[in-house]
Every structure is written in C-alpha cells, then in structure tokens.
A and B are shown apart, each in its own frame.
Chain A
C-alpha cells in the first residue's frame, strides 16, 4: 500500500509455553503495516491475540515463556532483534502505549508530575526544571484543569477520566511516532469516552503520529480509525479501509460482530449471535478457524486453512466464500 510504512509486521507468530508443557498459539502469522499519521483499528474478542500483538511490538512479552518469530520493522529497527537497551530507548520515546486500566498503570507512590518528568529526563535529558515545564504543558494539552496545581497530586486523587488523560500525557511526553492504545476508553463512561476520543483525534491532527487502536468496540473504531484489521483466533481474518469494512464486510465473523451490536436506528427483536466457542488454541483446527461457528461453512472450509486474499483493491479476507455478496444475491 504505502511505499514506506512506519511500522511493518510480517509473519508474526507468538507461542506461549505453559508450565504443563502445553503450547498455545496466541498469534499465528500476522502481517500488518501502518503508515505515518494513520490510525489502524485492531478488533477482536478476548483471547484473539490483539493485545499480545501489541505487547510484542513494545517488547513486553516474557522471554521465558513466549516464543516469537517473524519481523516487526519500525523506524529502521527490527524490534524482535534489537537489544533490550535499544528497546528501552525506543519505549516511551518513539514508541508509546496507553493501557486500558488507568487505575493500575500509574505508580501510586509518586506524583503524576514525577512520573512524567522521569520519562522526559530519561529520553530527552535536560534540566528537571524544563522537564517540569514541559509536563505542565502536556497536562494542559490533554485538558487537565489547573495543571500547575495538579502536577503535584498523587494518582489516587484523580478521577478515572483524569488518570487516563495523565496516561495519554505521559505517552505523548516525547512525541512518539507510534502510539498503541489498548482499549483506552473501555473503562470509562460515555461522556468521558467522548472526551478521550476527541482528544486522541486532536492529538493525531497536531502531531501526525500513527495510532494502533486496540478495541472490541466497533462504534469506537468507526469513529476514529482509517483502517481496520479484524482478528480471530490469532489470525487476521479481514482487513479493509474503515468505510469498506462497515459497508461490505467480507468475512462471516465480521458480519456476525456487526450484527450483534444493538443499534440505535433499528429496534430488532433478536440480535445476531455467534454460536459456539473460540477454538482451543493449543490445538488449532486444521481448516478455517471460524468454520465451527460459521453459518456459511462448506466442506472445503474444514479441509485446509484459507489464505488471506484480496477481494477488492485493499480489502483482504480470509474466507473462501468471499465476496460474500454472492451468498445473498
């Protein structure tokens, strides 16, 4: 697509070795790229591998139990091959991450100012005084009222929405090129969610950073993403521009997800449901991983794993029945 993507993940595979000797295939051959200034939504349900993928990018997976192969190229580095030292230089600097839980991702024994100042001093150096000024400026940018006073407060004094804004300020401290946001609004009320989404849009426009937004909320995706990758059982099953995905999805799983959202315009007696369960990733099925839950399944689906093919320009689907329009016309 884009000649020089900011980050390019190819053939990423992550396996976890359990204590009992079981091997779980958490991520299985994921290819992704994000261009400068673009927002990619990574969608899927619990256990589909979306968060593990983001942790692999950040180099935060435990070395003893996680076996990672493939390549993650970012800014001239292969993140899977760089030294821990280089990774530490990148993290919080050019690579930043916002987690779902603003309650547990701030250190309760330091003031929010100390925590942001530390990040700035670690990566940018300079005097503590100038770092403090920059921190106040950052807090103002994420719309924290009276930042001069708030900077000396401890996390427990702040509300959930405020803490999430502090997390964002910290992630932005060194002007990252790539920001990974893992369910940044899930723990928040709609009114705060609206504030945070607005803020993310503002920041994207101002800084031109690329964003990978991990979420299970398709409403949030529709609102802020340019492109979407849908993950199921460790694989990307569909990838498309946001308009495409919402108007003409090409994988049955995406159709099921869209159908299961209660909608505002249209009162349905029954919502669509996806029957059955996610396959056991210790022994992934031989054919399509969604086959057991798919109403459009054919014999061929269970024989061989379907490849990810381009259904229309820029729209990829891992379904042998695509284009799905044929099924209903």
Chain B
C-alpha cells in the first residue's frame, strides 16, 4: 500500500468578489491532480512559478482545504480527520520551507524550537527532552552545544539544518521539502542534499520535493511529476523522464537546464509566448498556447493523463506522433578524467590530507 494516495485534487482560490461577496473569478491553482507515493521514496513536483506545486504540497498536509478530491495517508481518509486526528497526523507528516531566515522563530533558542514539537505531541518525558534535542542536533550534523543559541547566530545552511531537525523531532514518515535548497549557495546546497539523502536512507523517510531546479531533482528524486497550470502533464520514474521526456512541456523544461560544461551538446527548446494566467487558463490543453507541436484538437479537447505499461504517464494528444526525445536533455559529457580525480580527492579520496572534508555529517558543518 502506498504511504500517500492523492486522487483528483482540486483547489480554486477566489480572486475577485462582487460587492455582496459573491465570487467573480477563480484562480484554478490545482485542477485534478492525482499521484501516489510509497514509504521511503521521493516524489518531485516540478514546474514553473504558479503551476500549483506549492499549493499541492500544502493540500497534502491539509494546511489548506481542497475543494474536491481525496487524500489517503496509510489508507486513511485525511479529509475525514477531526481536529484530534489531524493533530496526530501532524506527527506523521512535516514540512521544510524554502526560506530558512523566515521559518524559524527569532525569539526562541534552537533548543526551544526543537523541544516544542516534543512537548506538543508529548513524545518524550520532560526530563529526557534535552537529551533528545542533542540527539536530533547530532543527527543533522550540528553540535549539541548550539542548542542555547538563537537562529540569527547561524548561517543559511545551518538554519536549514535546524528546520530539518525540527521536522525530524516528531519522527515523521513524510516530509514535504518546498524548495529546501533554492536559497542556499552551491556548496551549502550540496551539504543539505547529502543530508536529506542520508536521513532518508537511515530513517526510511518519504519526501515530496518541490523544486524548479531540475538538476537537483534528477539527483534526489525517484519519481517526478511535471506540473503546468494546476495539472500534472507527465509523471514517470526520474531516470525514465530524464532519459526521454515525452510531453512537449517537459521537453522544453529539461532541454533548458544549464549544464556546467562549455559547448555542451544540446538542442534547447525556447518556449515562445507567456505563461497563460491560471485565472483564465486556455481551453483544451493548457499548454497549447506555447506548444511547438500544437494541432487543432489541442485547442478544444483537454488531453487525459494516459499511463503506459511501465507507469510513464503523459497528458498529450500527440504523444505517439512526436519526434524522439532522446537527445533533449543536455549532456555535460562528464568531467575530464583529471577533474574527476580531483573532485574525488577533494571529497576525501586517498589524496585527502585531512579528515574533516569527508562527510556531510562531519564535525565541521556549515
């Protein structure tokens, strides 16, 4: 059984009201989204700003209420939960936000921030809480003595570790990571990605990873769902999607990934036109205004998400007619052999002179 099953999720926000409070216009933020996630796996939601990926992640936690659809967590209907059951569910599912500067209370010490979930869910008797906080801090690679400090005393990467620690405090099964590394520098980003991965292996966590950085997604995700204007247009195993994206929108997204290799082999598809407004999405396929393969049928009939034998699903009328997409994702052709060796040495290969550069959970985290 899947850990999380989402079916036909819909959320429309009211954008404009009449004088008497009647809704005049809706933003169709999420419009019929279905997916499932197994325990211990990572599903990435990708798409441009405004495609509804963050709204989906909030709906899944019932931080906002959907207008239609069902959400099942371990087989139980999440939308039928009363306040008590919902509170218990908060132990099972947590969220990490993009901005580590805004998501920690500046007036609480790290120790207090981490004790609060323990007390709230009464997980650990008061006498043992301090010990548990130290344990959690060590788990995310921070020194226990830092528990007495305030968030402003930490760097962005360290704060994101604290946010992860807070999510882990209740021993959840699912963590929603909403752009967890977008605000971080490259070297710090890799530390947090390594940490998330290691914690997943160690604790069997499932992640919903919301991101617009596709190289990061390729690195961390098992499954990917590509969203456009409130709908999933393609979903597949990460390897299958990156090997050969099918939907024209996925093709354009993946073809545009910048790769760290000058003169990399690529056939970039530059989309023309603007992203249509979710206030008034176009009829038919919502991508047809920007699609290079558009035909008449796309303008009137909305394509359904059709799954093939291996679970690769695409919502496009022309899936079978489109040209091969194998060379779409740019290749960096690998590093030069010398650089490959240098990188290995840098991260603690035989040439590493000191021990401190070895692990993301070392004694010297940033």
A interface residues, Cβ below 8 angstroms from B: 45-46, 145, 159-162, 189-195, 197-198, 216-223, 242-243, 246-249, 252, 255-277, 293, 295-298, 324-325, 327-329
Find the B residue at minimum CB distance from A252: B346
Find the B residue at minimum CB distance from A194: B256
Which residue, of A257, A269, A327, A328, has the highest number of chain B Cβ atoms within 10 A?
A328
* Chain B residues within 8 Å of A325, by CB: 338
A206 to chain B, nearest CB (A): 17
Tell me, yes or no, whether B189 is within 8 Å of chain A by CB.
Answer: yes
Tell me, yes or no, whether B84 is within 8 Å of chain A by CB.
Answer: no
* Chain B residues within 8 Å of A270, by CB: 194, 197, 347, 360
Give CA–CA (A161, B214) in the complex, Å.
19
* Chain B residues within 8 Å of A293, by CB: 357
**Contact check: which of A159, A220, A263, A272 meets B332 at CB < 8 Å?**
A263
The contact size tier of chain B is 35 or more
Given contact pairs A219-B257, A246-B260, A295-B354, A191 touches B343 in the complex (Cβ within 8 A): no
A190 & B338 in contact (Cβ 8 Å cutoff): no
- Give 14 A-B pairs besides A191-B253, A264-B330, A270-B347 with Cβ atoms closer than 8 angstroms: A191-B48, A194-B256, A195-B271, A217-B186, A246-B339, A258-B343, A259-B346, A263-B260, A263-B332, A272-B190, A273-B347, A295-B351, A296-B352, A324-B338
Which 7 pairs show the lowest CB-CB distances between chains A and B? A219-B258, A262-B219, A260-B190, A259-B343, A271-B190, A194-B256, A274-B187
- What are 20 A-B contacts defined by CB distance under 8 Å? A160-B49, A190-B258, A217-B258, A219-B258, A219-B260, A222-B262, A243-B263, A256-B346, A257-B186, A260-B189, A261-B186, A262-B216, A262-B218, A264-B242, A264-B329, A271-B193, A272-B343, A276-B366, A296-B346, A327-B345
Given contact pairs A257-B187, A262-B193, A271-B219, A195 touches B253 in the complex (Cβ within 8 A): no
Give CA–CA (A29, B275) in the complex, Å.
45
Q: Secondary structure at chain B's binding surface: helix, strand, loop or mixed?
A: loop
A169 to chain B, nearest CB (A): 16
Give CA–CA (A326, B219) in the complex, Å.
31
B131 to chain A, nearest CB (A): 27
A42 to chain B, nearest CB (A): 15
**Contact check: which of A145, A198, A221, A246 meets B273 at CB < 8 Å?**
A145
* Chain A residues within 8 Å of B342, by CB: 249, 255, 324, 327-328
B185 to chain A, nearest CB (A): 4
**Contact check: which of B191, B219, B333, B341 meets A328 at CB < 8 Å?**
B341
Find the A residue at minimum CB distance from B333: A265
Which residue, of B259, B341, B346, B354, has the highest number of chain A Cβ atoms within 10 A?
B346
**Contact check: which of A195, A218, A249 meets B270 at CB < 8 Å?**
A195
Tell me, yes or no, whether B335 is within 8 Å of chain A by CB.
Answer: yes
Find the B residue at minimum CB distance from A263: B332
A190 & B49 in contact (Cβ 8 Å cutoff): no
Given contact pairs A193-B256, A256-B346, A260-B189, A222 touches B261 in the complex (Cβ within 8 A): yes
B347 & A272 in contact (Cβ 8 Å cutoff): yes
Tell me, yes or no, whether B105 is within 8 Å of chain A by CB.
Answer: no
Give CA–CA (A265, B327) in the complex, Å.
12
A255 & B257 in contact (Cβ 8 Å cutoff): no
